[in-house]
Amino acid sequence: MTTTLTPTATTTPATVRATPGTTSAAPAAALAPTTLPAPVPTAAPPAALPLPPLGGATRRPRAPRPRTAPGGPAGTRPRGAAGSRPRTPERGAPRALPPHTVFAERLLAVLSGERPVHWMLGHTLGEAYEQLVRLAPETPLRSLGPRPVLRRCAVQAHPAQGAVEAFATIATGARVRAMAFRLERGADRRWRCAAVELDGLGTTAAHRT
């Protein structure tokens, strides 16, 4: 038996030859410098947020409250010495004395010799001033010991006449003297003494007054 061998075709790598008059594009492209794209700017990373405290809810910060002084806005508090409190005004002005008490003190000052008679000019009318002129030189209310003291002064008003009648007791040492006087109110709304009288009381009457 005869075996016939058939020749097998062999593949030979083809050789690329440049054709005269033409330029190969492949080597030119391989030798050209490569241009890289410009870097794109990136945004800054966001700031880290504070983490809430563990085991509780997040609290919002409170706005500071304006400082106020007692009794007014800030800056109006009265300032004083260090460690001292501001002075408080007095509760009220002293109460004015009634007219009959004022005149009783004035008559006592004149009849005890503390004031001259002319001190009552403008505070008397009618015969009252002449009565004081006769009584004052004797100083009937002068005391050898302590100063005479007005102990009591009662009054009886006569609104229809615009007048009052007063009765006062005065302690002059061991004695107690009585003094009666009349006040009248003029058109200028001022009180003036219209009459004055004196009467002595015994020592025993001082204990009953």
| Burial call 169-185: b when 16+ CB within 10 Å, e when fewer | bbbbeebbbbbebbbbe
pLDDT at 150 over 90: yes
pTM of the model: 0.52
- Averaged over 56-62, what is the pLDDT? 62
**Bridging pattern class, strands 149-158 and 175-185:** unpaired
One-letter identity of residue 35: T
Instruction: Determine the pLDDT at residue 183.
Output: 97
| Bigger pLDDT: 55 vs 104 | 104
Q: How confident is the model at residue 143 (pLDDT cuts 50, 70, 90)?
A: confident
| Bigger pLDDT: 11 vs 73 | 73
Instruction: Determine the pLDDT at residue 137.
Output: 92
Distances (CA, A) of 58 to 53, 63, 64, 65: 7, 16, 19, 21
CB 111 within 8 A of CB 139: yes
Tens of pLDDT, residue by residue over 67-121, are: 655 555 555 555 555 555 556 555 655 678 899 999 999 999 999 999 999 999 9
Bridge partners, 183 (sequence order): 164, 193
Rounded Cα distance between 71 and 204, Å, is 60
Instruction: Determine the pLDDT at residue 199.
Output: 81
Helix/strand number for the chain, H first, E second: 4, 4
Q: How confident is the model at residue 173 (pLDDT cuts 50, 70, 90)?
A: confident
Nearest of 113, 112, 130 to residue 121 by alpha carbon: 130
